[in-house]
Amino acid sequence: MNEPEEMRVDKWLFAVRLFKTRSQAADACRNGKVCLNDAPAKAAKPLKPGDTVTVRQSPITRTLKVVGLTERRVGAKLVPDFATDETPPAELEKLRHAKRDRTETGRPTKRNRRLIHRFTDGGQT
């Protein structure tokens, strides 16, 4: 396949499925959340195989090594052909602990609303 020698950072981030849209990838670059080889990267910065891309995605910072370039968005199974995930295990552990417990914050579930109603009404229904 005819692979490009360089491509824009935002296009590559979109192609390897780090962002749902290319504009989200460009916004992340604009807001300083993307670094290329430990330097802040603008969206149009050229990217080559062998470069290291660091992306801050709350609550973790992902580190990817560029293996290949592609102009088109690839399927999830093909992402390892274009990027190697070098995110430290400590960062991935943060992601595991960041899951929100729905019972503690936000809107009550249907079951919780029934329990609250039963408690405040005294079970008179």
Question: Does the pLDDT at position 27 exceed 70?
Answer: yes
pLDDT, tens only, 29-39? 999 999 999 99
pLDDT, tens only, 43-70? 999 999 999 999 998 889 999 999 999 9
The phi, psi pair for 74, rounded to 5°, reads: -105, 160
Q: Quote the pLDDT of residue 42.
A: 94
**Half-sphere exposure for 78 (CA within 13 Å, toward CB):** 9
In a domain, 61, yes or no: yes
The phi, psi pair for 66, rounded to 5°, reads: -75, 120
Q: Would you call 83 helix, strand, or coil by DSSP? A: strand
Contact 59, 95 (CB under 8 A): yes
In a domain, 36, yes or no: yes
Contact 69, 3 (CB under 8 A): yes
Model-level pTM? 0.75
In a domain, 96, yes or no: no
In a domain, 34, yes or no: yes
Q: Quote the pLDDT of residue 125.
A: 54
Domain count, the chain: 1
In a domain, 119, yes or no: no
CATH number (domain holding residue 77): 3.10.290.10
Q: Is 7 exposed, middle or buried (0-12, 13-18, 19+ CB in 10 A)?
A: middle
